[in-house]
Homo-oligomer: A and B are copies of this chain.
Amino acid sequence: MNDLVRLGRDEAETFAAGLLAAHGVPEDDARIAARCLVRADLRGVDTHGIVRMPIYLERLEKGLVTPAPRLSANRVAPAAAHLDGQNGLGFVVATRAVEEAIAIARDNGVGFVGVSNSTHFGMAACYLLQALEAGYGALVFTNASRAMPPWGGRTELLGTSPFGAAFPNPGGTPFLLDMAPSVAARGKIRKAQREGKPIPEGYALDEHGRPTTDPEAALRGVVLPIGGPKGAAISMLMDIVGGVLTGAAFAGNVGNQYQDFDRPQNVGHAAIVFRPDLFMPAQVVAERMKELVATVKAAPKAEGFDEILMPGEPEARNEARRLEEGIPYRLDDLAPLVEIARARGVAVPAAATR
């Protein structure tokens, strides 16, 4: 049952959207969420792809995620808007927020949108790509459930919330940073757990505050920040901008979607979107960005490196390849989705039942 099968993008998206629609999500919203999920799979960020869907579907079914929120951004200042996510799918809520931030930036140069009452939004790169594809630069913030201690602490309090930043490079590889402030995301540890593999040292402490390479022990303990106090501070920044500022939960009170079934998560996000041609003509900025990328790529290589890649470029290459070859999934990982699909009368891709 560990066989790999390949699904095409459209096939995977239709499957994912069908599952969401079968749980009451309107077709357009289901398609938005499915695109984010499948895009994570395309980019090799498998931890944020469709195999994570059972928890979203379960929370939809339990009423902890609102299937059909009526999202309406509230312009609170000329260049800032607030969006109450109404506990909708984070994919849909965050996509709506970035859409609003782009619209504000178009008119004002920069747009700041804060979001409360959202839920897990998956891969932050999804929203950075949304801004890039509209031709904008962006910073994306989110907070998350407890996963990492503050610097000097030993228990989970802050999230391993990704900090995201992007800047377009028309015709070339854009800058796309989507980084957890932890040495490794919990998703990677969960993947190691599923696959029965150890994790590298330095990723996590166990529940007693001791280093561990056992993913089970690590999931009971805490993941460690990059750069010591620096990574911990980035995580706190996510909780402040994503949570304290926006009106979402914060300080360890964001619900864990795998554990807290008594309430919605109340995740918070924020997006700052800006025009790349604010200070110089678009063509000039594009040439400058092209020059930066060329200079970086031409730099002398360190031992073990054949080439230098831009942040986000490994994922962009995965995406190009998987669009051609199809997305590899383990049948084991698809099985829970197939089961749900059958129970709900959702069409299952033929390859997924091979």
A residues contacting B by CB (< 8 A) are 76-80, 82, 107-112, 114, 116, 137, 139, 149-155, 157, 165, 167, 175, 177, 179, 183, 205, 208-211, 226-227, 229-234, 236-237, 239-241, 243-247, 250-252, 272, 274-276, 278-280, 285, 288-289, 291-292, 295-296, 299-303, 305, 307-311
The answer on a CB contact under 8 Å between B292 and A244 is yes
Cα A309 to Cα B305 in complex, Å, equals 39
Cα A109 to Cα B75 in complex, Å, equals 10
Chain B residues near A289 (CB, 8 Å)? 240, 244
The answer on a CB contact under 8 Å between A236 and B278 is no
The answer on a CB contact under 8 Å between B109 and A250 is no
Chain B residues near A209 (CB, 8 Å)? 300-303, 305
The answer on a CB contact under 8 Å between A114 and B77 is no
Q: What are 5 A-B pairs at a CB distance below 8 A?
A: A150-B299, A153-B301, A155-B299, A167-B241, A209-B300
Cα A302 to Cα B209 in complex, Å, equals 4
The answer on a CB contact under 8 Å between A154 and B80 is no
Cα A227 to Cα B200 in complex, Å, equals 13
Cα A183 to Cα B276 in complex, Å, equals 30
Partner among B153, B230, B292 whose Cβ is within 8 Å of the Cβ of A179: B230
Given the interface pairs A167-B244, A245-B137, A285-B244, the reply to whether A300 lies near B116 with Cβ below 8 Å is no
| Shortest beta-carbon distance from A82 to chain B in Å | 5
Number of copies: 2
Cα A137 to Cα B141 in complex, Å, equals 14
Chain B residues near A152 (CB, 8 Å)? 299, 301-302, 305, 307-309
| Shortest beta-carbon distance from A123 to chain B in Å | 16
| Shortest beta-carbon distance from A169 to chain B in Å | 9
Given the interface pairs A236-B175, A309-B152, A311-B229, the reply to whether A280 lies near B247 with Cβ below 8 Å is yes
The answer on a CB contact under 8 Å between A227 and B301 is no
Chain B residues near A285 (CB, 8 Å)? 244-245
Given the interface pairs A239-B292, A292-B251, A303-B209, the reply to whether A116 lies near B80 with Cβ below 8 Å is no
Cα A302 to Cα B157 in complex, Å, equals 13
The answer on a CB contact under 8 Å between A279 and B179 is no
Chain B residues near A80 (CB, 8 Å)? 108-110, 274-275, 278-279
Cα A250 to Cα B284 in complex, Å, equals 13
The answer on a CB contact under 8 Å between A110 and B247 is no
Partner among B154, B177, B240 whose Cβ is within 8 Å of the Cβ of A234: B177
The answer on a CB contact under 8 Å between B77 and A308 is no
Partner among B108, B154, B179 whose Cβ is within 8 Å of the Cβ of A108: B108
Closest to A309 in B: B152
